[in-house]
Structure 1
Amino acid sequence: MMHFTGEEENLICMYHNADRRRTIGKITAAMPGMDGDMWTLAQQTLSKLKRMTDSDYDSQKFYFTDENE
């Protein structure tokens, strides 16, 4: 199973869709409006999502996390 950081999980939750390919598409579509750090986070998250299989994505649970806790 792919390991995502708290920041990556939060990004996925923001753009989560019915399947892996649609989630990738939504993040990709939002990237032109992102600044440097957010854009870099989106790139590394997309890289991981693209390496996953659809079944791995479907079986993984994504949760918003508060990294200040």
Structure 2
Amino acid sequence: MDFTGEEKILMMLYSPGDRPGLYQALGEMRGQLEHDEKELRALTDRVMEKLEQMTDEDFDQLDLYPDI
């Protein structure tokens, strides 16, 4: 599964360390968005859709926090 740079940043900001937890955190954040935050809503929707399509094992293989 390929994630864009923006998607990875969103995931880094909200990830508690596992796929179900990230999905839940994004859903909670999405529910608090204002009507005019369309770009963030669309970004969140894309990430959530991709998370639904992957397994926990696939998520564990992601390198969300690369060495800098």
Q: Which range, TM-score by smaller chain? A: 0.7 to 0.9
Contact 1:12/1:23 (<8 A) preserved = yes
Secondary structure of the 1:11 match is helix
Percent of aligned pairs with the same amino acid: 30
Contact 1:19/1:58 (<8 A) preserved = yes
Unaligned 5+ runs, structure 2: none
Unaligned 5+ runs, structure 1: 65-69
How many residue pairs get matched?
Answer: 63
Q: So what's the TM-score if we normalise by structure 1?
A: 0.84
Q: So what's the TM-score if we normalise by structure 2?
A: 0.85
> Per chain length, whose mean CA-contact separation is higher, i.e. which structure has more relative contact order (CA < 8 Å, sep 6+)?
1
CA RMSD, Structure 1 to Structure 2 (Å): 1.4
